[in-house]
């Protein structure tokens, strides 16, 4: 954030300003389901009518969809389309599709482990990496490579506008349990050249990692947004009359930049920068380009990555330069970081990543504090239902309901006791989802104790929901205890706790 004093900021920013309503949406990957729930409440119950939308990363996707029209009803319709898109996702590859080289890297996992064991004994690699396991080992298989016949990448030179953006995002220029951490990926890639016996796969992996500089391409969700007959039309954003800013960071200058609704780039003070306008979809792609997950996006001789690298919750742009007097700020991220085990013996990459995680949390705390001090209405989770790269239909729905509940709590002034009960209900649903998942998995031995715990949690849920004011819960909450939570494959058996 810009280094400005916050003293008296709330009163000074509103003094003499014309009424202007703004909406600020944070990054958070698949956790944007929390924002979808909160937005449903804000639009349908509170009745917000934002004239200004500012977003980062996943928040830029939501913001761009909403900003296609200044009409409130059209924004509500766009929100419902987004909700349907998110609820249609069933696996990680729907949002994050592995690149060819990374898929090959995972498929040779056992060979890599053996090679790492051998080379660790010979002394070139240290840090206990022989204990690694593969990343996202339980994820479904990724779709075929986007460089197969029929891919938009084939016709990239002939495309313009958002179709060019889609082709750029999905181009994969590569020859044919517990997660592996980014530090382990980097360490293994650094040592691949020392390995022997991997044949052509070694060339594929090394070439792919070097060319693409990322492990994933955006999944089918992006094609649904930008492809032929898609839900999003970047030209509508330009002509809607909405004021829009999408955050991104230049790797060359290190500066925070924003794309306006007209496709031009501005700095954090909203001063226009030199350069030609771009299709607005290019800015959304840049804002979502998580470093090493997705490839940096080139514009004006620079390369841009996720705006969250510098500002994951860009409330300052809306409240300061854009002059919003009433600002609704929705973040998908709970404050704080999960406690970790001892870092005795951890390698430098793990230390770096842990430090970055802590630093990012502290930065967003400052951004939330700024928004609150400036008088914004801030809606945030108290805990994370799932992580940003996790895609599961059950967790997405629980998180969406949680967003709706947190918005209702803020708007209605829920008591401490009511908030605690809401928290207990969402935590119970999260645990129920986990127990159901185990029960439905034929590979997991059935545990009678877990089944009894599942039944008890369902009955507790039945008893807890009526203790809250109905207006604090979304429609259908009284049925939560009777139904299965959502799963990638819909259960074909009756709920055992109802038998």
Give the whole-angstrom CA distance, residue 343 versus residue 67.
Answer: 45
Write down the pTM of the prediction.
Answer: 0.80
Digit-coded pLDDT (tens) for 201-229: 555 555 556 566 677 777 788 888 887 77
- Does residue 57 have an active-site annotation? yes
Say which of 33, 57, 234, 240 is annotated catalytic: 57
What phi and psi values does residue 25 have, to the nearest 5 degrees? Answer: -125, 125
CA-based R_g, the chain, Å: 23
CA distances from 197 to 102, 128, 187, 194, 200 (A): 18, 21, 19, 10, 9
Give the whole-angstrom CA distance, residue 461 versus residue 349.
Answer: 42
Give the whole-angstrom CA distance, residue 371 versus residue 391.
Answer: 29
Q: Is the pLDDT of residue 240 over 80?
A: yes
Greater model confidence, 156 or 43: 43
Greater model confidence, 99 or 372: 372
Digit-coded pLDDT (tens) for 255-288: 999 999 999 999 999 999 999 999 999 999 999 8
Pull the structure tokens for residue 322: 């854009």
Question: How do beta strands 256-260 and 243-250 pair?
Answer: antiparallel
Measured distance between the N- and C-terminal CA atoms of the chain, rounded to whole angstroms: 56
Buried b (16+ CB within 10 A) or exposed e, 404-434: bbbbbbbbeebeeebbebbbebbbbbbebbe
Say which of 172, 201, 279, 306 is annotated catalytic: 306
Pull the structure tokens for residue 348: 């430098």
Give the lowest-confidence range in 87-96, 221-230, 259-268, 455-464. 221-230
Mean of the per-residue pLDDT values for the chain? 82
Greater model confidence, 415 or 363: 415
Q: What is the pLDDT of residue 355?
A: 77
- C-alpha 22: how far from chain center: 21
Q: Is the pLDDT of residue 147 over 80?
A: no
Give the lowest-confidence range in 56-70, 81-95, 105-119. 105-119
CA distances from 479 to 22, 128, 451, 465, 476 (A): 35, 48, 20, 9, 5
- What mean pLDDT do residues 69-89 have? 95
Confidence of residue 432 (pLDDT cuts 50, 70, 90): very high
- What mean pLDDT do residues 197-203 have? 54
Confidence of residue 22 (pLDDT cuts 50, 70, 90): very high
């Amino acid at each position: 954030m810009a280094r400005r004093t916050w003293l008296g900021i709330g009163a000074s920013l509103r003094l003499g300003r014309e009424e202007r309503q703004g909406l600020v949406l944070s990054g958070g990957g698949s956790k944007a389901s929390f924002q979808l729930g909160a937005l449903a409440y804000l639009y349908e119950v509170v009745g917000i009518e934002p004239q200004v939308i500012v977003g980062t990363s996943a928040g830029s996707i939501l913001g761009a969809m909403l900003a296609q029209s200044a009409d409130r009803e059209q924004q509500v319709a766009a929100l419902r389309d987004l909700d349907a898109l998110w609820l249609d996702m069933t696996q990680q590859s729907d949002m994050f599709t592995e690149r060819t080289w990374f898929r090959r890297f995972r498929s040779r996992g056992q060979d890599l482990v053996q090679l790492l064991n051998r080379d660790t004994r010979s002394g070139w690699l240290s840090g206990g990496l022989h204990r690694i396991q593969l990343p996202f080992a339980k994820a479904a298989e990724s779709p075929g490579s986007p460089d197969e016949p029929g891919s938009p990448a084939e016709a990239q030179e002939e495309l313009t506008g958002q179709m060019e953006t889609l082709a750029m995002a999905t181009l994969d220029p590569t020859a044919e349990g517990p997660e592996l951490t980014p530090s382990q990926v980097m360490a293994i890639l650094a040592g691949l050249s020392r390995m022997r016996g991997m044949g052509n796969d070694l060339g594929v992996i090394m070439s792919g990692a070097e060319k693409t500089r990322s492990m994933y391409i955006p999944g089918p969700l992006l094609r649904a947004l930008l492809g032929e007959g898609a839900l999003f039309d970047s030209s509508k954003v330009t002509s809607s009359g909405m004021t829009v800013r999408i955050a991104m960071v230049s790797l060359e200058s290190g500066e925070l930049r924003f794309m306006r609704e007209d496709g031009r780039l501005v700095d954090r003070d909203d001063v226009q920068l030199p350069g030609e306008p771009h299709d607005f979809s290019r800015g959304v792609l840049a804002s979502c380009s998580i470093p090493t997950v997705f490839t940096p996006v080139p514009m004006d001789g620079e390369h841009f990555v996720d705006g969250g690298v510098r500002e994951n919750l860009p409330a300052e742009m809306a409240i300061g330069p854009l002059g919003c007097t009433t600002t609704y700020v929705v973040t998908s991220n709970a404050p704080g970081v999960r406690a970790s085990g001892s870092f005795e013996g951890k390698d430098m990459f793990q230390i770096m990543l842990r430090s970055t995680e802590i630093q990012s949390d502290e930065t967003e705390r400052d951004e939330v504090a700024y928004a609150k001090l400036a008088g914004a209405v801030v809606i945030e989770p108290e805990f994370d239902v799932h992580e940003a790269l996790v895609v599961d239909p059950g967790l997405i729905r629980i998180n969406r309901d949680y967003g709706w509940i947190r918005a209702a709590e803020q708007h209605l002034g829920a008591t401490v006791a009511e908030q605690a009960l809401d928290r207990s209900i969402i935590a119970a649903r999260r645990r129920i989802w986990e127990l159901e998942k185990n029960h439905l998995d034929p590979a997991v031995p059935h545990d009678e104790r877990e089944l009894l715990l599942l039944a008890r949690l369902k009955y507790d849920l039945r008893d807890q929901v009526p203790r809250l004011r109905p207006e604090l819960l979304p429609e259908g909450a009284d049925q939560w205890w009777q139904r299965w939570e959502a799963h990638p494959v819909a259960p074909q058996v009756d709920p055992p706790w109802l038998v």
